Amino acid sequence: MDGKFQYSVLKYRHSYAIGEVVNLGVLFLFEDGEIVFSFPTKLGRLSHMYNYGLSINFIKKTLTAFKTRASKLTRSSDEIKGLEDNLPYIIGQYFLPENASSLFFSDTCKGVYDDKAEIVKYFSNFYLGWYETRTEEKKDDKYIVDQVKSFLKREYSQEVEKKMRLDLTLSDSKHLVSEKFEYGWQNGTLNLITPISLDLQSEQYYETKALKWRSLLGMFKPEADSKGITFDIFVAKPTERDLFSKYDKAIKVIIGSDAPIRTYEEEEYEDYLDHAAQTVIGRQE
């Protein structure tokens, strides 16, 4: 005979202003009172997506604590007696209050099952499977920054590299979001090297990243206008040719921002950095 169950997906909201959300876990409540919390064992992709403003250690501790809490509640059946069909209440009482900042649970879904283990496996893979998928190494934003750093040190000097290292943080007018720009230089305007890798793991991420950066650049525009800032975007193309069309669309979305923008692909990095370094050296002389 089929049994009834409910589940809710734990999500992480990196930015309220931009609206980015990723799945972190799935909480199950079965009609016999058993509670199961499933989460990915590998969070490397999460750290690649958000290389600022996110503590992976905090996320791991939270997920582990939820799993332990689910097991304890299952063993203490008297504690949740009468709540076998009320997952929202259990979430608010034992896991997360409704006003929890970056972490929140989705609306509850209901279903039937004939095998608990298979249901947990199916929905965990459906919502969290992308964490486990093995893919080839990609060029991320850090790769672009490392290319800038190594070129300046190799072709010029550590002193020139330090002169171009700004570590400048820009924020929107309400200080809801911010971004740090590691390198930049001046020649009448303040040119901030803006690394945006579009060598992404899957085609579904192109629109998300493009919209994120279009939104960020738009929010930074008032400060850019007041300080004479231009965003010089260093982009990295996909390593897989079948993603080139997604790349082209993403670039169009990003440059659709009304912020002052210029774009440079990987084969243009060195010419750009040569000009920038020569300008910095000439200004020193």
Name residue 232's beta-bridge partners.
193, 262
* Helix, coil or strand: residue 209: helix
Q: Identify the residue whose tokens are 């850019």.
A: 224
Q: Which has the higher per-residue pLDDT, 182 or 84?
A: 182
pLDDT band of residue 25 (cuts 50, 70, 90) is very high
Q: Is residue 247 part of a domain?
A: yes
162 and 70 inside one domain: no
155 and 238 inside one domain: yes
**pLDDT tens-place string over residues 238-256:** 988 889 999 999 999 999 9
67 and 126 inside one domain: yes
Considering 109, 131, 153, which residue would you say is the last residue of a domain? 131
124 and 175 inside one domain: no
The total number of structural domains that make up the chain: 2
Considering 131, 162, 196, which residue would you say is the last residue of a domain? 131
120 and 50 inside one domain: yes
**pLDDT tens-place string over residues 36-87:** 999 998 776 676 666 555 678 888 999 999 999 999 998 886 677 777 678 9
Per DSSP, 106 falls in state: P
Q: Is residue 47 part of a domain?
A: yes
147 and 258 inside one domain: yes
Q: Is residue 87 part of a domain?
A: yes
Ranges of beta strands (E only) in the chain are: 3-15, 20-30, 35-38, 103-105, 109-113, 165-171, 178-186, 190-197, 229-236, 261-264
pLDDT band of residue 173 (cuts 50, 70, 90) is confident
Contact between 142 and 148 (Cβ < 8 Å): no
Q: Give the contacts of 7 (CB within 8 A, at least 6 positions apart).
A: 26, 27, 28, 29, 87, 108, 109, 111, 123
Which range is most confident: 96-105, 203-212, 269-278?
A: 269-278
Residues of the domain holding 85: 3-131
264 and 168 inside one domain: yes
Instruction: Name the average pLDDT for the chain.
Output: 88
Above 60 in pLDDT, residue 1? Answer: no
pLDDT of residue 166: 96
Q: Which phi and psi angles does 193 have, rounded to 5°?
A: -70, 120
Q: Identify the residue whose tokens are 């009172």.
A: 33
Pick left, alpha or beta for residue 19 (phi over 0 → left; psi -120 to 50 → alpha; otherwise beta). Answer: left
Average of per-residue pLDDT across 177-193: 95
Q: Which phi and psi angles does 63 have, rounded to 5°?
A: -65, -40
Name the strands in the sheet holding 261-264, side by side, starting at the edge strand that comes first in the sequence. Answer: 165-171, 178-186, 190-197, 229-236, 261-264
Distance CA 63, CA 57 (A): 10
Considering 131, 151, 171, which residue would you say is the last residue of a domain? 131
Above 80 in pLDDT, residue 195? Answer: yes
87 and 190 inside one domain: no
pLDDT of residue 48: 61
Contact between 212 and 14 (Cβ < 8 Å): no
Q: Is residue 136 part of a domain?
A: no
Above 60 in pLDDT, residue 119? Answer: yes
pLDDT of residue 14: 73
222 and 127 inside one domain: no
Above 60 in pLDDT, residue 135? Answer: no
Distance CA 99, CA 48 (A): 27
Above 60 in pLDDT, residue 134? Answer: no
115 and 201 inside one domain: no
270 and 145 inside one domain: yes
User: Domain containing 160 — which CATH number?
Assistant: 3.40.1560
206 and 80 inside one domain: no
Q: Is residue 177 part of a domain?
A: yes
Average of per-residue pLDDT across 211-235: 95
Q: Is residue 91 part of a domain?
A: yes
Specify the DSSP element, H or E, that contains 72. helix 56-75
Above 60 in pLDDT, residue 157? Answer: yes
pLDDT band of residue 17 (cuts 50, 70, 90) is low
* Helix, coil or strand: residue 81: coil
